[in-house]
Amino acid sequence: MKTAKVIIGGGYGDEGKGLFTDYLSARADHNTCVARFNGGAQAGHTVETHDGKRHVFSHFSSGSFAGLPTFLSSFYVCSPITFLREREQLLKFNLEPDVYADETCPVTTPYDMMINQIVEQARGAKRHGSVGVGFGETLERQTHKGYALSLSDLDNTEALRSHLDLIRQHWVPARLAALGVKDISAEWMERINSDAIREHYMEDVARFLAHIKLVPSTRLAAWDHVIFEGAQGLLLDQDYGAFPHVTRSNTGLKNVVQLAKQVGLGELDIYYLTRSYVTRHGAGPMSHELPEQPYVGIIDKTNRPHPYQGSLRFGWLDLDVLCRAVKHDMGSQKTSITLRPHLAMSCLDQIDHNATYILGGETKTASPDALLAITQRELGATTSLASYGPTQETIRERGNATKRFSNPDRRYRSFESLDIAQNNLVAAVS
């Protein structure tokens, strides 16, 4: 029987998608792949191993250390430039994962990246929170006839060169004008008009194609088991988040359900992720934001200050916001596929003593384990995964929401299998 697990961020991203995907991948059955169902080069999922390896995955799935192949779905935006950079990093670990990519995937060009960066710089204090890698700009260009570029278009060298010239000569100035950018610096104009940049990109494309396998959408059905790895979080969903501070992507179940129907999946076990507090990297509203990190034990090696996004922001975990987002995501899917919700909470080891959280509009406190139990109960999730450190060895599973943890050595115990809970799952979030 085909099975599928889904990793979805419940907030603004940075909830631990890499960590929990790595955990599930290490315990996966034979013939399993990890499918990226949204996002692109702007998504970074950190995986650390007990023997000291650490990588921020983007084009490759967070199941790569576990040896699972990656499937880039039609909803994933490919960037040859960033793919090759990441591949070089993984080669240092003697790791060269198999990557299958839907031939209809949109493709990012240097000109999408340039537009993204020019516009975000021009916005100044009114920046939207972009990371500057051209993700949203790629999808915008993809909607305009004559300028779209997909993986299947990359193998004809002369046609690609002509297409890139069309983009830089016509699409770039038209798009910048539409976004209100009237003055382009001489430095940016030199980059846009550079034939050397165009030719270097075409060399990157050739190398990129040599390291992936182009396949039709139906290829996903070849695996018996799928782990769907999402990017960003529900509060950044283009149809649910606070516009314009969103990602141009559906970050919840919408894409997954469509892919599941294509390959005949009848059930989805969905892991909604949150930290024990909330973070946001980039501009936009944030519930119960704090002037500094809420706990002295917080250490974040991945989210450094960024020239476009700024510094990482912090807030208390607002269960009202989290539950509304999850219930909206579950309830908006009109499908016969069985949807089973679970909770995954990271960073419980970073709480100093008691955790502070919001529920029913009130500020409350609880022990870390109690916070996990309360969140699980509020979401209606039968099982939960809890991490007490940066590696999969620190993750524990929690079953029935009425039970509490009893293991005092919580930081170093991990469960070997999820099977103990699979027969006791709820049917849906009400």
Q: What is the pLDDT of residues 389-407, one digit of tens each?
A: 999 999 999 886 433 333 3
Are 229 and 336 members of one domain? yes
CATH number for the domain that contains residue 152: 1.10.300
pLDDT digits (tens, 9 = 90+) for 59-97: 999 999 999 999 999 999 999 999 999 999 999 999 999
107-128 mean pLDDT: 83
Indicate whether 329 and 406 sit together in one domain: yes
Number of structural domains, the chain?
A: 2
pLDDT at 130: 54
Q: Which domain range does residue 148 map to? A: 110-211
Q: pLDDT, tens digit, for every residue of 136-166?
A: 999 999 999 999 999 999 999 999 999 999 9
- Residue 252 pLDDT > 60: yes
386 pLDDT above the threshold of 50: yes
What's the mean per-residue pLDDT of the chain? 89
Q: What average pLDDT does the segment 216-232 reach?
A: 96
pLDDT band of 388, cuts 50, 70, 90: very high
264 and 119 within one domain: no
Q: Does residue 132 sit in the same domain as residue 199?
A: yes
Q: Which residue has the higher pLDDT, 298 or 282?
A: 298
Q: Which long-range contacts (CB under 8 A, 24 or more apart) does 191-195 make?
A: 191/110, 191/114, 192/111, 192/114, 192/168, 193/168
- Residue 132 binned pLDDT confidence (cut-offs 50, 70, 90): confident
- Are 189 and 259 part of one and the same domain? no
Q: Which of 155, 185, 211 is the last residue of a domain?
A: 211
> Is 82 within the bounds of a domain?
yes
Given this model, what pLDDT does residue 131 score? 60
State which of 211, 231, 261 marks the end of a domain. Answer: 211
Among 211, 231, 259, residue at a domain's last position: 211
Residue 48 and residue 175 in one domain: no
Q: Do 204 and 227 reside in the same domain of the chain?
A: no
List Cα–Cα distances, 393 to 27, 34, 50, 390, 396, in angstroms: 12, 20, 7, 9, 8
Q: What sign has the CA pseudo-torsion 202, 206, 211, 212?
A: positive
CA dihedral 362, 366, 369, 372 (to 10 degrees): 0
pLDDT score at 333: 94
In a domain, 394, yes or no: yes
Largest CA distance in the chain: 65
**Of residues 427, 73, 132, 116, the one with CA closest to residue 250:** 73
392: tokens are 């999969």
CATH number at residue 88: 3.40.440.10
DSSP-derived 3-state class of residue 121 = helix
- Residue 288 maps to a domain: no
245 and 165 within one domain: no
Please state the pTM of the whole predicted model.
0.89
Q: Are residues 94 and 181 in the same domain?
A: no
Question: Do both 45 and 168 map to the same domain?
Answer: no
Is the residue at 295 inside a domain? no
Q: Same structural domain for residues 201 and 137?
A: yes
Residue 421 pLDDT exceeds 70: no
